[in-house]
Amino acid sequence: MMTRTAGAGACGSGWGKISRAVKPWLFLLPMLLLAVLFVYFPFLKNIVYSFSTVNRFGKITAFAGLDNYRYMFSRREFGTALRNTLTLTGVNVPVTLLITLLAARLRRGESRMGLIPDALLSLPMAVSMSAASLIFRVLLNPTVGYINTLFGMEYPWFESARTALPSLLTLTVWMGIPFNFLILRAAFRNVPGDVIEGARLDGAGTLRIFFRMELPLVMPTVLYVICTNTILALMTSGPVMIITRGGPSRATTTLIYLMYTAGYGSFNFSMAACVSLAAFVLSIAFTLLNLWLDREKVSW
């Protein structure tokens, strides 16, 4: 009887080790299935589409090789969309970072009266991008918009090729402020106060403390903000779909909106796949650049 009990105990112990090893994967299994179904499989299918001829029903009819990419690079609208996307990214990221960095530094301390500016800076987080786009479309309406009424003008902000993209930039910057502000404010509040106080006692000024001490300490958070903002800016499409629809004269067409119109507007799924992969390559390139800067230029 004792031998059987020992054997049963050993068997139970072995099964317990197996169950402990398998249990984490069982918890991850639903997420992994969803990721494979809605992320990895569509991504691989997208790659296949980019090298194939696809009919309007999404069926592959022939192998096209690099012809789809040659066609994409030869199209003027792709160059326009690429330029608009890089302009949005190149302006949105530094402007949003500068505003939130200064606001977070000013709001480093705790105060009851500071709740009001904190709430105002965080307010756009409570508004969806579609709702914010509709709000800005009303604000900048050429006839009944509040901005034109305030200054006594009738300027077509979103209808003019000169101001449509800057108007969209204003919207995207406004929407990007809350999340960045909250993250950077938390980073500044984690800077040791005794270090700052010691620097002040040694005669260091505010600017010297900020650039020589505070900014290096929050630089990992700054690079995270730059990375996430860059990806979001490269993926800009919501305001374009709701407000301008890529116009006027493709002045606000971005890569993601071009992908949408090529796929769902013209049923050119091969072109849409190529454009989406171009946007993906840009995102990966900027992400790798940020990771390199994080490894080489930042001290944790």
Nearest partner of 157 among 136, 177, 175, judged by Cα: 136
Residue-wise pLDDT for 85-118, tens only, equals: 999 999 999 999 999 999 998 887 766 666 788 8
Domain ranges of the chain: 2-40, 70-297
DSSP 190-212: TS-HHHHHHHHHTT--HHHHIII
pLDDT more than 70, % of the chain: 90
Under the banding of pLDDT at 50, 70 and 90, the label for residue 2 is very low
Band (pLDDT 50/70/90 cuts) for residue 8 is low
At 52, is the secondary structure helix, strand, or coil?
A: strand
8 A C-beta contact, residue 124 and residue 178: yes
Beta-sheet pairing, 52-54 with 60-63: antiparallel
pLDDT of residue 7: 52
Tens digit of each residue's pLDDT (9 = 90 or more) over 138-149: 999 988 888 888
Question: Which residues have C-beta within 8 Å of that of residue 295, sequence separation ≥ 6?
Answer: none
Cα separation values, 140 from 46, 146, 292, 299, Å? 38, 7, 41, 45
Q: Model confidence over 172-183: pLDDT tens digits?
A: 999 999 999 999
40-76: pLDDT as tens digits = 999 999 999 999 999 988 899 999 999 999 999 999 9
In 3D, which of 99, 251, 276 has the Cα closest to residue 175?
99
Distance CA 222, CA 198 (A): 24
Residue-wise pLDDT for 243-271, tens only, equals 999 989 899 999 999 999 999 888 999 99
Ordered alpha helix ranges (H), the chain: 2-35, 41-50, 67-74, 76-106, 115-122, 129-139, 146-151, 164-189, 193-201, 206-209, 215-234, 238-239, 255-260, 269-297
> Top-level CATH class of 70-297?
mainly alpha
